[in-house]
Structures are given as structure tokens and as C-alpha cells.
Amino acid sequence: MTTISTTKDNPARIPPLAAGALLRTEPDRNCPLCPRLAAFREAARLREPEWYNAPVRPFGDPDGRLLIVGLAPGMQGANRTGRPFTGDYAGDLLYATLLEYGFAKGKYQARPDDGLKLVDCRIGNAVHCVPPQNKPLPLEINTCRPFLSAIIESMPNLRAIVALGRIAHDSTLKALGIRGSAAPFGHGAIHPAGARKLYDSYHCSRYNTNTRVLTPEMFRNVFAKIRADLD
Ligand code: SF4
């Protein structure tokens, strides 16, 4: 965990914005706050020592206007490669769509050293560690929320947030201090959030696309709307 320590014996060393505060920004590689997820992570490290197997940091431009919030790293995707949505099916659809709407440049090749760059855009997750069966518990979602809040607060130009799925939507609302009843989740819904807007989408998982809960066209429509709003 990143901290800024202060001492009253040495006030000259206190950064002005952090005076008196414990600033939690990114989880430590061995973040212990969710014991179940920490144990799951440790088991993955033993089984697959070459994989990333740690809390996955956001990817992209902190000065960007767009933030995409996913659920959590996938075991074979971000947990393996260390970059959000990289290495599993959800990334194929997400990055293809971001490239199409000018929020990315380069070529997505499902590995973190493929040279892909996000443009005016950043990607993070509601939960930073891979959960068993892609299902974090409510307590784990709550425990990880300060790190999601830190991602949001670290983006001074943020105008648009895409929540991929209901869990990302609910946690983002709480991070923004908005009551759930004021902004119910629905694919294609757009919720005002102060100077920002929250855009809802079904998650771009293989399950959702295989069952046609989400089609590529439905997903593209969300980003087409954001592109139009930002332009
Ligand atoms: S999910 Fe978040 S809070 Fe929980 S152990 Fe991982 S980084 Fe820490």
C-alpha cells in the first residue's frame, strides 16, 4: 500500500496535500485486506509462478477523460498478464471497440508488451485481485473500493466513466457518493454524476456475448455515444 508518512518532528517533509493524512492510492503487491483473495492469489503463485498473480493496476492515461471500470481481473487474463482485460476474450471485444472509436492506438495482441496505447482513456477494476469464479464477495468489493476511489480521484480531467456490469456500476456509484436508487443499472443508461457522466454497459465477457446478452453492436453503441458526447 502506498502511504505518505508524516511526523510532527519534521514538518518540512510533509507534502502539502497529504498533511495529516494516510493516502491510500494503489494496493501493495501483497495486499492482505481480503484474506480469501490473498489466499487465492498465493495458490495461483504456487501453481503458475510465471504469471503476474497480484493486484492489477489501472492501464492508460491518468489525464484521460474516459475511465472504464471492469469487475475484477480474470484468472487467465489480467491476473496472468498484469494488464487489465489483456489475454482473455473480454479484452478482444473491449480493445477492438476502443481502437474503433479512437480511445486506443496500435495493435492489440493480448500481451502487455504489444505496444497498444490508450488515448484519452484509462481502464481499471472495481476489485483489483482475481476472485474465485469471477465472483468477489460484497465485503471484498467494499474493501477494495478505496483503491477504485483513488483511481477516480487521480484523474483531473475525468468526464465519462463506463461501468461494465452491475457490480462495477454499484461500486462506482458508491465511490462517487451517489445513491443506487438515483441511478439504477441498465445497459445503455447514462447517469449524471456532477461534472461527469456514468455510462452503463453489460460486461463484455464471453458468457454475455455467447448468450447474446451483449452483442458487439450494443457494446459499440455505448462507446459511440461517449465519443459523440466528448467531441
Ligand atoms: S481485492 Fe483489493 S483490497 Fe482486496 S486484497 Fe486485492 S487489492 Fe487488496
pLDDT of residue 22: 41
CA dist., res. 172 & res. 150, Å (int): 11
**C-beta separation of 136 from 35 below 8 A:** no
Q: Which residues pair with 68 in a beta bridge?
A: 123, 162
Q: CA-to-CA distance for 169 and 199, rounded, in angstroms? A: 9
Residues of the chain with pLDDT under 70: 1-24
Pocket of ligand 1 (CB under 6 A): 27, 31, 33-34, 37-38, 55, 127-129, 140, 143-144, 147
Q: Are the C-beta atoms of 95 and 104 separated by less than 8 Å?
A: yes
**176 phi and psi, to 5 degrees?**
-85, -5
HSE, CB side, 13 Å, CA atoms: give it for residue 78. Answer: 25
- 32 CA to middle of ligand 1, Å? 7
Nearest CA to ligand 1 atom 3: 144
Asked if 202 and 109 touch (Cβ cutoff 8 Å), the reply is no
Q: How far apart are CA 4 and CA 22, in angstroms?
A: 6
Mutate to test the pocket of ligand 1, among 2, 26, 125, 128 (most ligand atoms within 8 A of CB): 128
Residues 6+ apart with CB under 8 A from 46: none
pLDDT at 25: 86
pLDDT at 24: 63
- The pTM for the full model equals 0.89
